[in-house]
Amino acid sequence: MSFTFRCYDPEADAELLHSWVTQPYASFWGMQSATVGDVVEEYSKIQASGHHHALLGLDDGVPAFLMEEYLPLLSPLAGVYATQPGDIGMHLLVGPPAGPPRTGYTAAAMEAVLERLFAKDNVERVVVEPDARNHKIHVLNARLGFEPAGVVTLPDKQALLSFCTREAFHSARAALHSSPIHQGASL
């Protein structure tokens, strides 16, 4: 896997993203009944916001996942927890595999996203708020160094607020790569 990133284009990439967000496995993304036009509208707002933006993760040049980064202080998390300087919010949606599913692919994609975020000197902590019922992502988050802070109420869901510091990520990544089951891990 060779991941790179490019800016998400709300018009040009809408059909691709629509095909991902309407998949049954993407139910927690909240766009199951969205139209292509809805995707264009939502991501045009995100890209124009100045504090929230989306990138496509490419695997050998082929779109494979969507990542969003945002400033928690300017998001629905504002007032829900005590934001700190250096906090950045993150969302991740992996597209359906082009071929047979590859074991550990989602973890590798998330690792690439976290590596990208922590490469920024001003980022000290990554904040996530997945749906509290999304147990698969909670397991993956924990594997990569996220610590749950508790369930919070957001406008669209009950979310498990979790944080990952730079140090926790580096420790989790080192443990993951030294584990004999790393290549056979699920997700």
Please say if the pLDDT value at position 91 is more than 90: yes
Tell me the pLDDT tens digit for each residue of 118-149.
Answer: 999 999 999 999 999 999 999 999 999 999 99
Banded pLDDT at 177 (limits 50, 70, 90) = confident
If pLDDT is split at 50, 70 and 90, which confidence band does 52 have? very high
Which is it for the CA torsion 125, 128, 129, 133, positive or negative? negative
CATH class of residue range 3-184: alpha beta
Q: Would you say residue 183 has pLDDT above 60?
A: no
Average pLDDT over residues 21-30: 95
Confidence bin at 1 (pLDDT 50/70/90): confident
Please report, as a single letter, which amino acid is at residue 6: R
Checking if the pLDDT of 184 tops 70, the result is no
Max Cα-Cα span within the chain: 45
Q: What is the pLDDT of residue 99?
A: 82
* Residue 101: pLDDT over 90: no
Q: What's the mean pLDDT when you consider all of the chain?
A: 94
Task: Look up residue 103 and give its DSSP letter.
Answer: T
pLDDT band at 181 (very low <50, low <70, confident <90, very high): low
The model's pTM: 0.92
Instruction: Using CA atoms of 120, 125, 129, 133 in order, give the dihedral in degrees to the nearest 10.
Output: 120
Structural domain spans, the chain: 3-184
Amino acid identity for residue 146 in this structure = F
